[in-house]
Amino acid sequence: MSDLNLPDLAAECRRLSGKIDAGVTSLNTSARQSAEAEREYRKQKAQAWALHTEGTAKEREAQVDATTADLRYARDLAEAGRQAALEALRSRRQQLSAAQTLVSALKSELEHSQYGVQEGP
């Protein structure tokens, strides 16, 4: 641990904390986009069912799927973006936790080197 120092670790914790803040904002934006894409897809799909009244159920379903394919794709991409933002946020939290663990270990090492081993009564 001799290469580690508290100022560098504190700076890393601040950097990661800032990335977490940005990640929360990004996740909020991604979640909103995902919800909006889902809403638009469902709305257009319902309208497509109302428009396609001829044919068997399977034929109508195929027509609805064809009509809403681009919206379904946009919905799926928006959901993937939300999931990616969530995973990035989780990763930053884990990195911050690791940095905090290193700070704690360094602090213990510094206390030990300053006061030596203390024996109990």
Tokens 């969530």, located at residue: 86
Q: Are 110 and 65 in contact (CB under 8 A)?
A: no
Q: Is pLDDT above 80 for 117? A: no
b/e for 26-51, b at 16 or more Cβ within 10 A? Answer: bbeebbebbeebbeebeebbeebeee
pTM to 2 decimals? 0.77
Distances (CA, A) of 104 to 6, 60, 110: 10, 63, 10
Spans of all domains in the chain? 6-108
| Residue-wise pLDDT tens digits, 10-31 | 999 999 999 999 999 999 999 9
Treating both helix axes as pointing N-terminal to C-terminal, what angle do 57-115 and 6-51 enclose, rounded to 10 degrees? 170
pLDDT at residue number 1: 45
